[in-house]
Homo-oligomer: A and B are copies of this chain.
Amino acid sequence: MTKTYEVVGSGNAIVDVLAKCDDQFLTDMGIEKGIMQLIDTARAAEIYGAMAAGTEISGGSAANTISGLGTLGIKSAFVGKVKDDQLGRVFAHDIRAQGVDFDTPMVGADHADETGRSMILVSPDGERSMNTYLGVANQLSPDDVDPALMADTKWLYLEGYLFDRPESQAAFIRMVELCNAAGGQSSISLSDPFCVDRHRDAFHDLISNHIDMLFCNEHEVMAMYAGDDLQASIANGAQYVDTLVCTAGADGAYIANGGNVIHVPTEAVTMVDATGAGDLFAAGFLAGMAQGKDLATCGRMGCVAAGEIISHMGARPEADLKELFASKGL
């Protein structure tokens, strides 16, 4: 059975507003470093008013992944919700400019909420603290899911953040069921440890019943599958899913599959901004899967793509990932 799309991703469609800050700013504003925090309109205004001048770049976790796949020439589509406003049109332009199909209906211009945005404060150590006003991004509903698209998808890639609202959770489950029923496979990224804490049971049900491949980092896998020990958490999680792919910062990545765990080391890179590291790891990995590479090679491709992203500000690649892979024999 031939399918059009190698990967279809779904998640929050948001625009990143990046600005540098010092650690004192985070303390003064009561912002916890290194995590994603959902905020309301009033808090968004407070933080935006105090932060430095920013740079706007289309973002969103799964959208970054799918955008990366687009630049790699992997046929992909994205499902997510923007409004027909300036930032929504920017988001749609940018993801389509990467060759990605994006046909989720926009929310009308008269809607009270706006296209979502995430204020990303980058501290001198390169860590980023995300304060996200979701706007219409989390108003994705089961009605937005196109059954024909799901039936035409080899790999579905879901962003855990969308679990924060029952309606978008329902949309996810509908996507997984439609994709799997047509013979496609499903993957999910856990997104962040606090997202895991908020939805552990729902994640567990989804993963153990429907998911073929789980993407996570060391903090997320430990939040989800117990304990202070990374390897024990990976081994525990690997019981519930065919393949568990866990990034571990400078230590590279671990891939659990069929009772084995492969370690993929990564090259040293000077970190400027960690935004999008996990997202682009997934892009590199899924590109490898689409090209029929083995799991270790997929892991290396993930590490190379993540290394490109952390070497500059912003979560969309500046270098040509295809050339980068070719230069490393991948």
Residues of A within 8 A of B (CB): 17, 19, 48-49, 51-58, 67, 85-87, 90, 93-95, 97-98, 114-115, 314, 316
B97, A52: Cβ atoms under 8 Å? yes
Task: Return the contact of A316 from the options B53, B56, B87, B97 (Cβ within 8 A).
Answer: B53
Kindly list the 3 A-B residue pairs having the minimum CB-CB distance in the complex, ordered from nearest: A56-B56, A53-B94, A86-B86
List of B residues within 8 angstroms of A49 by Cβ: 93
Cβ distance A63 to chain B, nearest Cβ, rounded Å: 11
Task: Return the contact of A85 from the options B58, B86, B314 (Cβ within 8 A).
Answer: B86
List of B residues within 8 angstroms of A52 by Cβ: 97
List of B residues within 8 angstroms of A86 by Cβ: 85-87, 114-115
Sample (22) of A-B pairs whose CB atoms are under 8 Å apart = A17-B90, A48-B93, A49-B93, A53-B58, A53-B67, A53-B93, A53-B94, A53-B95, A53-B97, A53-B316, A54-B90, A54-B93, A54-B94, A54-B97, A55-B55, A55-B314, A56-B56, A56-B90, A85-B85, A86-B87, A86-B114, A86-B115
List of B residues within 8 angstroms of A115 by Cβ: 86
Given A48-B93, A93-B48: A53 and B98 within 8 A (CB)?
A: yes
Once the chains are docked, how many angstroms separate the CA of A114 from the CA of B89?
13
Please give 16 more A-B residue pairs, beta carbons under 8 A apart, in addition to A56-B90, A86-B87.
Answer: A17-B90, A19-B97, A51-B97, A53-B67, A53-B98, A53-B316, A54-B90, A54-B93, A55-B55, A55-B56, A55-B57, A55-B314, A56-B56, A56-B57, A85-B85, A86-B86
